[in-house]
DNA sequence: GACAAATACGAACGGTCGTACTATTTTATT
DNA sequence: AATAAAATAGTACGACCGTTCGTATTTGTC
């Protein structure tokens, strides 16, 4: 009742790391068992299927993401400071691990692979877009954004920017990415101000 | 001397389609042989390794991309018309196949998988960024863009926008993506005008 | 039409994949 | 300390992976 949760947590930690570095699909039960020093069958018993393991990993990632990116941003003052906090937290998040942001890579990976895993990932993406919209709305409330702006458009604009950062920084290894992203963000905020 | 090239081309066509729908890594020699109605070993003989097959597929994709996206854009009048043509061609390109743009998904997939394949993909991405810069430069030349703009920043801004479109449209299946992208592009162009 | 070269095939290799079983060990409760 | 339950291990499975090798077929050239 206790031990099981502990090992499950350790498995998901190692699994998330592996999924981030390689990809969600290449988290192999055998490989993961080796890393966690368990037997394949012992590890497998925790999830009953690879699909469940993958969903477990993404759920685990979602909890960490909320804890490290979204919630801390909500601590910042509503409005532009909160937007900037969110962006910085996101950049820290995607920079922390070798492969970049697990949500970006996994949603790319599972686009045309129907099933429970893809559905779960899409739900998470929609929840993320919802966070962006909410933050825009609170920026309107405190007067940092104009009243008549389109919050959906803001979510699109900001997420696009983050995706650009992600590819430039994590994949192409461009050194001046942070600078480019700063310029683009300032222009974006000016437009909603 | 002749037949070999024909089959090789057919293999790459089917391989690109498969890579676009699933992913580059999941283009399996066995699966590809089944689709092209060849034997595994017969197909394999064309490439000598899976790595070479993957590079061949990406090269094939690059040729089609130049042919369908970049070169037609260069036919358009330099400046803003050319930028818009490029964007439209890119959208058509990434919309044509089920899995979206092969370059986006493959660069995500191979970020943390060192080797010849990754190197090749990164080269292609740099060439693409170079096209974007060149188009910005020609826009300055004809007076559509301000003289003192940063062409690298333009490339970053525009590619970010396309990546946003890609994720929204191809993966999240948002219906109003085209509208969002139009709004963002107009604002972007206004800024460089 | 002969002949060398190019192309394609069939069978087999050692590995790894996800999963199913049964057996053993460890845990929590009494 | 005994015991039922939970957790882990061991072994095996069929399927597919990339690759090799020897052989057959097809092709282009003379």
Span A71-129, pLDDT tens digits:
999 999 999 999 999 999 999 999 988 889 999 999 999 998 999 999 999 999 999 99
Do B184 and A111 count as a contact with CB atoms less than 8 A apart? no
C-alpha angle with apex A72: A66 to A73, nearest 5 degrees?
100
pLDDT value of position A181:
97
Q: What is d(CA A54, CA A5) in angstroms, rounded to the nearest whole number?
A: 17
pLDDT band at A43 (very low <50, low <70, confident <90, very high): very high
CB neighbourhood size of A99 (10 A): 22
By the CB < 8 Å criterion, does A149 face chain B? no
For residue A95, what are the contacts with CB-CB under 8 A and spacing of at least 6? A169, A170
pLDDT value of position B2:
76
Alpha-carbon distances, residue A124 vs A107, A118, A135, A184 (angstroms): 10, 10, 17, 26
Q: What is d(CA A65, CA A67) in angstroms, rounded to the nearest whole number?
A: 5
**Helix boundaries (H) for B97-115:** 102-110
For residue A23, the chain B residue with the least C-alpha distance is B109
**Which residue in B185, B191, B75 sits closest to B138, CA to CA?**
B75
Alpha-carbon distances, residue B45 vs B4, B9, B48, B53 (angstroms): 10, 14, 5, 10
Identify how many contiguous H helices and E strands chain B contains and give both numbers: 10, 0
CB neighbourhood size of A126 (10 A): 12
**Is the Cα dihedral B51, B52, B58, B62 positive or negative?**
positive
Q: Which two tokens stand for residue B93?
A: 């390109």
Domain assignment present for residue A9? The answer is no
Domain assignment present for residue A14? The answer is no
Please say whether the beta carbons of A152 and A133 come within 8 A: yes
For residue B177, the chain A residue with the least C-alpha distance is A156
Alpha-carbon distances, residue A9 vs A12, A25, A46, A53 (angstroms): 5, 19, 10, 12
Q: What is the CATH number of the domain that holds B71?
A: 1.10.357.10
Domain assignment present for residue A134? The answer is yes
Please say whether the beta carbons of B149 and B138 come within 8 A: no
Q: What is d(CA B70, CA A102) in angstroms, rounded to the nearest whole number?
A: 31
| Strand C footprint nucleotides (protein C-beta < 7 Å) | 6-12, 16-22, 26-29
Instruction: Find the Å distance, CA of residue B38 to C1' of nucleotide C7.
Output: 12
List pLDDT tens digits, range B26-70. Answer: 999 999 999 999 999 999 999 999 999 999 999 999 999 999 999
pLDDT band at A2 (very low <50, low <70, confident <90, very high): confident
Closest Cα in chain A, distance from residue B133 (Å): 14
Domain assignment present for residue A142? The answer is yes
Q: Which two tokens stand for residue A137?
A: 């709305």
Please say whether the beta carbons of A97 and A21 come within 8 A: yes
For residue B24, the chain A residue with the least C-alpha distance is A109
Global confidence as pTM: 0.94
Q: Which two tokens stand for residue B103?
A: 């370059």
Q: Which two tokens stand for residue A33?
A: 């068992």
Nucleotide of closest approach to B27 (CA, C1')? D17
In sequence order, what DSSP letters do the residues of A129-174 get, joined into one string?
HHHHHHHHHHHHHTTSS-TT--HHHHHHHHHHHHHHHIIIIIIS--
Please say whether the beta carbons of B55 and B120 come within 8 A: yes
Please say whether the beta carbons of A109 and B23 come within 8 A: yes
Closest Cα in chain A, distance from residue B3 (Å): 34
Which residues in chain A, range 19-78, keep a C-beta under 7 Å from any nucleic strand D atom? 37-43, 45-46
pLDDT band at B99 (very low <50, low <70, confident <90, very high): confident
Q: What is d(CA A121, CA A10) in angstroms, rounded to the nearest whole number?
A: 21
List pLDDT tens digits, range B58-76. Answer: 999 999 999 999 999 999 9
For residue B16, what are the contacts with CB-CB under 8 A and spacing of at least 6? B57, B60, B61, B64, B102
Closest Cα in chain A, distance from residue B115 (Å): 14
- Can you give the residue range of the structural domain that contains B188? 58-192
Please say whether the beta carbons of B15 and B7 come within 8 A: no
Domain assignment present for residue B20? The answer is no
**Is the Cα dihedral A93, A99, A103, A104 positive or negative?**
positive
Domain assignment present for residue A27? The answer is no
Question: Which residues in chain B are contacts of A159 at CB distance < 8 A?
Answer: 164, 167
pLDDT at A3 over 90: no
pLDDT at B3 over 80: no
Domain assignment present for residue A13? The answer is no
pLDDT at A1 over 60: no
Total tally of structural domains belonging to chain B: 1
Q: What is d(CA A144, CA B75) in angstroms, rounded to the nearest whole number?
A: 43
pLDDT at B4 over 90: no
What does the pLDDT average to over B175-185? Answer: 96
Domain assignment present for residue B49? The answer is no
């Amino acid at each position: 009742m206790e031990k099981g949760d502990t090992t499950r947590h350790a498995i998901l930690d190692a699994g998330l790391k592996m999924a981030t570095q390689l990809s969600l699909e290449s988290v192999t039960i055998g490989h993961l068992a080796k890393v966690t020093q368990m037997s394949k069958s012992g590890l497998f018993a925790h999830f009953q299927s690879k699909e469940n393991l993958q969903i477990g990993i993404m759920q685990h990632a979602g909890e960490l993401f909320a804890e490290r990116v979204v919630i801390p941003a909500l601590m910042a003052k509503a409005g532009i400071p909160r937007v900037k906090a969110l962006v910085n937290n996101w950049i820290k998040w995607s920079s922390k691990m070798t492969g970049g942001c697990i949500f970006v890579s996994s949603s790319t990976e599972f686009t045309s692979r129907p099933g429970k895993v893809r559905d779960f990932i899409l739900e998470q993406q929609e929840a993320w877009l919802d966070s962006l919209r909410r933050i825009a709305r609170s920026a309107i409330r405190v007067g940092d954004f104009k009243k008549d702006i389109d919050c959906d458009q803001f979510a699109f604009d900001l997420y696009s920017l983050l995706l650009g950062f992600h590819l430039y920084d994590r994949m192409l290894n461009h050194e001046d990415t942070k600078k480019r992203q700063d310029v683009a963000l300032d222009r974006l905020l000016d437009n909603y101000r």
